[in-house]
Amino acid sequence: MTFKTTLLASTLAIAPIAAMAADLTIGFSQIGSESGWRAAETTVTKQEAEKRGIDLKFADAQQKQENQIKAIRSFIAQGVDAILVAPVVATGWDEVLEEAKDADIPVVLLDRTVDADKSLYLTAVTSDLVHEGRVAGEWLVSEMGDQDCRIVELQGTTGSSPAIDRKKGFEEGIAGHDNLQIVRSQTGDFTRAQGKVVMESFLKAEGGENICALYAHNDDMAVGAIQAIKEAGLKPGEDIKIVAIDAVPDAHKAIAEGEMNATIELTPNMAGPALDALEAYLASGTEPEKWIQTESKLFTSEDDNQAIYDMKKDLGY
Ligand code: AHR
C-alpha cells in the first residue's frame, strides 16, 4: 500500500512535512488490524516516519492491552526517544505511563483517548469522538423527520474511547426526537466479521422489517452488516438506512451503490501531527496543546462517492 503524500495531504487535511529528524528512534504500539481504517493508519505512520528519517519500532498488540503494556515497557527499556500509542481501551494506563514519564520519554496518544492524568502524556492526536456520534445522530434526525424509526447500533470495542464517545454523541444527536429509538445495541468489536454476525442477530431478534436504521461505530462493521441485510432479503440503504464512521473507500463505494447512506471521515494520518509535535518538543522543548484535533467531515449520497472512492484507492487507502 503506497500513499502519495502530497495528494493525500490535500485531500485528507494532513499537516505539512516537518523537517527531517535524523537519529530519532520512536516506538509505536499499534492496536492491531481490526479495520481498514486501522491498516491505513499503520501504513501512514510508517511512511511518515520513513520520510522524516525516524527509526520506527512497530509493535502490533493484536487487540490486547497487555501486549501494548509489554511493548511500551520494551520501548522504555530500549531507551527510545518517544512513544506513540493507539490505546485499545481507555482505562488501565496509569502505571505504564508513569514509567515512561519517569524515564523522561514523551508519549503521544493516537486516535483514542485514555482515562489518565493529562500530565502522563505529551499530547493526544484524535478527532472529537463525541462530535462524530452527534453528527451521525443529527444526520438521521434530518433524514427521518417525524417518521418513527427503530434503530440498531453496532458499538466498537467495549471500553474503547470511540465506542464510549460515539455512543454518547449519537444519543445526544437524537435526543428530544422520541420518534427515534435505539432498540438494540451491541459490540461488533470494530470488525467486518462481527458486524455481520451481530447484525444477523439483530435481524433475527427484531425482524428485518421492524428495523429502520443502523448506526455503526465504524464502516467495517457497517459493511459486514450490509452483507447480513442482503442475505436477509432486504435492501441496505433503502429498507434500512445506514450511517457509520471512518469514510474508508468501501463506505464510499457502498454509498455510491445506494447500499449505505452516510459516513463521517476520520483521517488515517494521526502520525503527521503527532510527529510534528514530537519533533518540535524534542528539538526545543516546545509543549504542544494537550489535544490536537483532527477534522470530522460528513459524506452522504449528495457527494460524488464514486470519485472519492477512486481517489482514495489511487492513494493506496
Ligand atoms: O480509534 C479509531 C477507530 O478504530 C476507527 O474508527 C475504527 O475503524 C478503528 O478500529
87-99, pLDDT tens digit by residue?
Answer: 999 999 999 999 9
In degrees to the nearest 10, what's the CA dihedral of 33, 231, 222, 173? -150
Contact yes or no for 239/245 (Cβ under 8 A): no
Which residue, among 274, 247, 246, 245, has the nearest Cα to 15 in the 3D structure?
274
Q: Which atom of ligand 1 is nearest to the CA of 162?
A: 1
pLDDT of residue 41 exceeding 60: yes
Same fold, 3-126+268-286 and 129-265: yes
Q: Which residues line ligand 1 (CB under 6 A)?
A: 34-35, 37-38, 111-112, 162, 190, 218, 220, 245-246, 266
Residue 22 confidence class, pLDDT cut points 50, 70, 90: low
Backbone angles phi, psi at 149, to 5 degrees: -150, 120
Ligand 1 centroid – CA 147 distance (Å) = 31
The amino acid sitting at 176 is: G
For domain 129-265, give the fold: Rossmann fold (3.40.50)
Residue to substitute in 165, 218, 297 for testing ligand 1 pocket (most ligand atoms within 8 angstroms of CB): 218
Ligand 1 centroid – CA 190 distance (Å) = 7
Which residue, among 136, 113, 158, 112, has the nearest Cα to 251 in the 3D structure?
136
pLDDT of residue 12: 45
Mean pLDDT of the 264-291 span: 98
50-71 tens-digit pLDDT: 999 999 999 999 999 999 999 9
pLDDT of residue 28 exceeding 50: yes
Residue 316 confidence class, pLDDT cut points 50, 70, 90: confident
Ligand 1 centroid – CA 39 distance (Å) = 10
Extended strands (E) in 45-145: 55-60, 82-85, 107-110, 123-126
Which residues, 6 or more positions from 293, have their beta carbon under 8 angstroms from its beta carbon? 126, 127, 128
pLDDT of residue 10 exceeding 90: no
The residue ranges of every structural domain in the chain are 3-126+268-286, 129-265
Retrieve residue 314's grid coordinates.
Answer: 489511487
Residue 21 confidence class, pLDDT cut points 50, 70, 90: low
pLDDT of residue 196: 98
Mean pLDDT, the chain, rounded, equals 94
The CATH code that applies to domain 3-126+268-286 is: 3.40.50.2300
pLDDT of residue 1 exceeding 90: no
Question: What is the pTM (predicted TM-score) of this model?
Answer: 0.94
Contact yes or no for 137/169 (Cβ under 8 A): yes
Ligand 1 centroid – CA 278 distance (Å) = 23
Which residues, 6 or more positions from 206, have their beta carbon under 8 angstroms from its beta carbon? 150, 152, 183, 184
Ligand 1 centroid – CA 316 distance (Å) = 18
Mean pLDDT of the 105-119 span: 98
- The SS3 assignment for 245 reads strand
